[in-house]
Amino acid sequence: MKNLNLITIGLLLLLTWGCNEEEEEKTISFNSGPTNNIMQYLAQEAKILSNKFPTNTISLEDWETLRPKKHKQFIEMMGFDMEEKRLPPKVYATDTLQQEGFRIEKFYYESLPDLFVPANLYVPDNITNPRATIVYLSGHSHGQKANYQAHARRLAELGFITLIFDTIQFGEVWGHHWGPYNKGWFNWYSRGYNPAAVELWNAIRGLDYLETRTDVDMDNIGITGISGGGSQSWYFAAADSRVKAAAPVCGAGTMDSQVGERRIDGHCDCMMINNGFQMDYTDIGALIAPKPLLIAQSDRDELYGIESTRQFYQTLSNFYKKFDAENNISLVETPGGHSYHPKSRKAIFSFFLHHLMGKEIPAEEIMDIETNKEKLLPTNSLNVYKGSPPATDITKTIQHSFVKTAEIPVINSQEALKNHQNKVKEYLKSRTFGAFPNSAIDLGGKMIYRTADLAKHGNKTYSFNSEEGWELKVNIFYRQPQDEKSPLLLVLRTPGEERWESEGYANKVPGKHNIAYLEVRGVGEAGWAPELNWHVRRSAAWLGKTIASMQIYDTMRALEFCRTLPEVNPDQISILGRDGMASIAMYAALMDEKCEGIYLSNPPETHDHPSPKNGRDFALELLNVLRITDTYQLPALIHPTKTYFLSEIPPAYNWSNTVLKEAVNEQLQIIN
């Protein structure tokens, strides 16, 4: 078959399978079904996620039980461990600038080995007792410590010690917080990595340093920032119990707004956590409660709709009432786009004076920041490094090491293999496939088409419901009589494939089976325009899923449906996948646990590879998967399901071959 072109393959299939002499009625019915519209589906799922957390109905007693679990999940999604004992970070002082009424200490600290954070600390003069302190979290603008210095200066003039430091991009070192956004690094999702986690960790470590200072009042710590610093204000307040009050600015919106209104397209990757546990900002706000929280939002912000902010503010306000703390939460709306306004700045100053210093000063009586740039310090004078960072600094490569990926397991016995299989599946259920529907909808299977042509014993096309909004089709070619229960080969069609291409591969599989062809989401009739792929990949990840996870679920539902058919032997179903769909086949078999075999051609060797910037390749990423396993390990993990290759075995899969030989005395097979 290798030398036959696609047209010849198609003709050969028709001649080989033949047709019945008696002509049957071919079209039985037409079913319009659900829309199968990816944009509507994502908007639907975003709305469900935004409304999921029961802040209005949950009791305080139930919350006391649930909160530690939610907090642990939040920290795990960030990719580090808050419970590990930490020593204060090493601090390297470089200079001090004396200003009128305060000084600026210039230094950098080591938040992880060789991960250095350049910072400025604004310290009011003549401090005699520990002083309330603000951590100012920079937004993602160029020259961050300098760009936001007016805020730190004003806070120091009001009497607050203020720490301000660079994020990992646009500061003194240009690392990366744009991965999927404009570099095609969708493998970040598979690694469980998000740059928000590094920036949050750097903030936590900055607070660890402040805790060593005798002039800092650790009982009165406030945090604030705009845009990326606004989202970080939410994260920091939710993560660290040492934070007493938070004032995020233009930094949060519901998933309903972000995805449903496509505001996500303007966002950096750090504006939402790696969402394996499907949280919304309402969940994050609940972790902050009942701490004082001032939410500042402009009313014409391209990135955050004011209606969205009002929605979760109202929900959180009701939640705060459960703590008798409704006075601890407020919303300040300002006119204009994604920016500060004198009204919001003054409200924040008044808020911190009240909650951290016990001073009642109305916002309108407080002087605003200095807006004349000529009166502010130039960027170079606030830089910490003298020309370049330490030679060992890993800021530019932290994305490769911040989240620890799984070590390659050593498996040399059947018991060890079984234990690792269970470990992997349990992890995937909650961290990778946690967005699978809690309860499956009715399959609703029905035949929508039949013919006596194309196969020796006819052909039928069935429809079935995968999940809400998705009706898929499975097209079965009967090589065996339909009144007999026969084995079935489920062939996953590949995005963009040519006519008869999958049929050519299916013909390579020996055996007396019928052949079913399936188009999962993103393929054929269930596909979408290629230019949407970038948006779909990012939106899906923010919702706690990926295109691949949706395709795996579709495949599992197809297996479930096929087992209901009287002509199918439910114990003898195999899957064929090639290229990226080979990965879908393997994961479906792993989670299904009932497949007889899988047939692979050119399977990907790892999830850890980049994509084109426009995201128009096969979307292989699965949330957090590399923290537990990788594609080349799957043939061993799906045992006793057999794995066959329709071409040569890629080198990385030798690991699975070795494990199967040592653990169960089996090996991978090649079908020529």
pLDDT in tens, 526-569: 999 999 999 999 999 999 999 999 999 999 999 999 999 999 99
Q: What is the pLDDT of residue 33?
A: 44
Annotate 552-593 with three-state secondary structure. HHHHHHHHHHHCCCCCEEEEEEEEEEECHHHHHHHHHHHHHC
Q: Is 90 exceeded by the pLDDT of residue 295?
A: yes
Q: Between residues 177 and 333, which one has the greater pLDDT?
A: 333
Q: What is the pLDDT of residue 455?
A: 86
- The mean-pLDDT minimum among 17-26, 151-160, 516-525 falls in 17-26
Percent of the chain with pLDDT over 70: 95
Is 196 in a helix, a strand, or coil? helix
Q: What is the pLDDT of residue 3?
A: 42
How sure is the predictor about 34, in pLDDT bands with cuts at 50, 70 and 90? low
pLDDT in tens, 346-382: 999 999 999 999 999 999 999 999 999 999 999 999 9
pLDDT in tens, 203-255: 999 999 999 999 999 999 999 999 999 999 999 999 999 999 999 999 999 99
Q: List strands edge to edge, sheet with 470-477.
A: 446-451, 459-467, 470-477, 514-518, 486-492, 568-578, 597-601, 642-645, 669-670
Helix-, strand-, coil-residue percentages of the chain, each rounded to 5? 40, 20, 45
Reported pTM: 0.93
Residue 399: count of CB within 10 angstroms of its CB:
22
Q: What is the pLDDT of residue 330?
A: 98
Q: How far are the Cα atoms of 299, 347, 653 from residue 331, in angstroms, in the given order?
A: 12, 10, 55
Which domains, ranges and CATH numbers included, belong to the chain?
6-30+406-670 (3.40.50.1820), 54-400 (3.40.50.1820)
Q: What is the pLDDT of residue 6?
A: 42
pLDDT in tens, 139-153: 988 889 999 999 999
Q: Is 50 exceeded by the pLDDT of residue 32?
A: no
Token representation of residue 455: 């196969």
Q: Is 60 exceeded by the pLDDT of residue 12?
A: no
- The mean-pLDDT minimum among 29-33, 123-127, 181-185, 613-617 falls in 29-33
Q: Is 90 exceeded by the pLDDT of residue 84?
A: no
Percent of the chain with pLDDT over 90: 89
Asked whether 168 and 176 are in contact (CB, 8 A), the reply is yes
